[in-house]
Structure 1
Amino acid sequence: MADDGAAAGVDPSPSSHPIHPAAPSDPPLDAASFTHTPYYCEENVYLLCKELIRAGLADPAGNDLYAVFISNEEKKIPLWYQKASRTNDGFVLWDYHVICIQYVADAIQPLAFGDSIYGRLFRVVHGPVFLRSFASDRSHMKDPMGNWIELPPMYEPIVAEDGSTNNLNEYIAMSNNDVGDLESMVNDVYHNKHGVVINETLLPLLFSRLPE
């Protein structure tokens, strides 16, 4: 989980951090204006997509939005500028994280360390598909005794249109074997319930092929 994500992260010493790109420019939107619950990044992104559509900041059907689940086989993904970090550069190693991408030219930055154990995989799900299909009963945030690891959002859990109450793991589970060829993914991202899984090398190529 990330600082607004899912499970506990590992915070290596600063000297062990993989090389990372320069800090991004300030976001154009005030995050405080959106519903946000720490450690529940998947639900935060779901509500963000809904709010962008409602506010007229996205296509009315969400066609310009993508939910992107980030993880890998090791469940160790490096991210920076995280509120939960104990280091100056905001570094945290999470098991997974979820982000919303709208303007891909601004969001996709050159990535390093793609061939290491920190190489990230990305499950890209088209916005309308994500909003119809995603569900979480928040059970991943309870310990074996049924106690909350982190307090849940105040609103009701998200239920998919087909009645599913929990399919979060279907989105965050991914391996290198799930990465397909670019041509098929350009089409499949709009039709597959779970989107497509892509690696760091192919990620910018995929978005360069999708309509802005």
Structure 2
Amino acid sequence: MELPYWSCYCEENIHKACEILQSDLKAVTSHILLYAVFVSSPTRAVPLFCQRSSHRDDGLVIWDYHVILIKVVDDDSYVLDFDTTILANNEQLNVRDGCRKVDFIPFAEYADLTFHHSWSLPADLRRYFRVISSKDYLSTFASDRSHMLVVDDSGGGRSKYGKAPPPWPQICGSKAYVAGIFMNIDNYIEMMREDTIFDHGMKYGEVFTEEQFLKRFLNPMDDTYSYQAIDRVG
């Protein structure tokens, strides 16, 4: 399938995917659930493998944060990651801004190839996962894209976008708009707060350690994942 895509704006790519896929589903039913997932660490430096922008053979990239989409159908989970090289062919790797050919990947396969070596990570690089239902993400997320502004090297103290923003309008969910909130991406990226309730009573999902996240979405009958990684995270 093809979905809207703009490099360096993973949170907006997943938001657009939620819009389209949830609309296609008409409703998130009891046997098909969609979740937006923010991945980050205490230092906002999170290692992921098999990433398209990597120049390494193993595809390692250190993101400040990354956002993926999980689809749960009955007891099986699948991942949509616009930036993964898993299942990608050359046409997909040379993706242009504007749209992206992308498919859901079985969760166990994605986790094994993307999160391996977790047990060797120092504590400040260990991955945490904020999981939020697609309905809540659509209604609560807001971004004025100010996090993408950098100081213009030409001087004068002016700012410019480090990467030009996508052509669609800035995103402001219905609940965020009513609350007068037009930028709240930090509430999704921040992983160290105990609570999940923030501005105006809006809920920004639930934070999981990597062990908790894998146990939440990995089908217990699927033995394709490297379980020693789960045992040694924490």
State if a TM-score over 0.5 links the two structures. yes
The answer on whether the counterparts of 2:107 and 2:218 sit within 8 Å (CA) in structure 1 is no
The answer on whether the counterparts of 1:141 and 1:148 sit within 8 Å (CA) in structure 2 is yes
Q: Which structure shows the bigger proportion of residues in strand conformation?
A: 2
The answer on whether the counterparts of 2:47 and 2:62 sit within 8 Å (CA) in structure 1 is yes
Q: Which has the larger radius of gyration?
A: 2
Partner of 1:151: 164
* 1:208 shift after superposition: 6.3
**Separation of aligned partners in 1, 2:202 and 2:41:** 20
**Separation of aligned partners in 2, 1:192 and 1:160:** 11
**Separation of aligned partners in 2, 1:82 and 1:208:** 21
Question: Following superposition of structure 1 onto structure 2, how do residues 47-62 of structure 1 map, counting pairs within 5 Å?
Answer: 47-56=16-25, 60-61=27-28
1:47-106 deviation digits (Å, cap 9, x = unpaired) = 0111112334xx624760000000011211111222211112221111100000003262
SS in 2 for 1:174: coil
Structure 1 length normalisation: TM-score?
0.69
1:134-159 deviation digits (Å, cap 9, x = unpaired) = 11110000113320100100010001
**Separation of aligned partners in 1, 2:211 and 2:50:** 22
Number of residue pairs aligned between Structure 1 and Structure 2: 165
SS in 2 for 1:64: strand
The answer on whether the counterparts of 1:67 and 1:124 sit within 8 Å (CA) in structure 2 is yes
Unaligned runs of 5+ in 1: 1-29, 186-190
Unaligned runs of 5+ in 2: 79-105, 152-157, 220-234
Partner of 1:128: 135
Question: Following superposition of structure 1 onto structure 2, how do residues 52-201 of structure 1 map, counting pairs within 5 Å?
Answer: 52-56=21-25, 60-61=27-28, 64-103=33-72, 104=77, 106-108=106-108, 109=111, 111=115, 112-114=117-119, 116-117=122-123, 118-144=125-151, 145-162=158-175, 163=177, 164-175=181-192, 178=194, 193-201=203-211
The answer on whether the counterparts of 1:130 and 1:193 sit within 8 Å (CA) in structure 2 is no
Structure 2 length normalisation: TM-score?
0.63
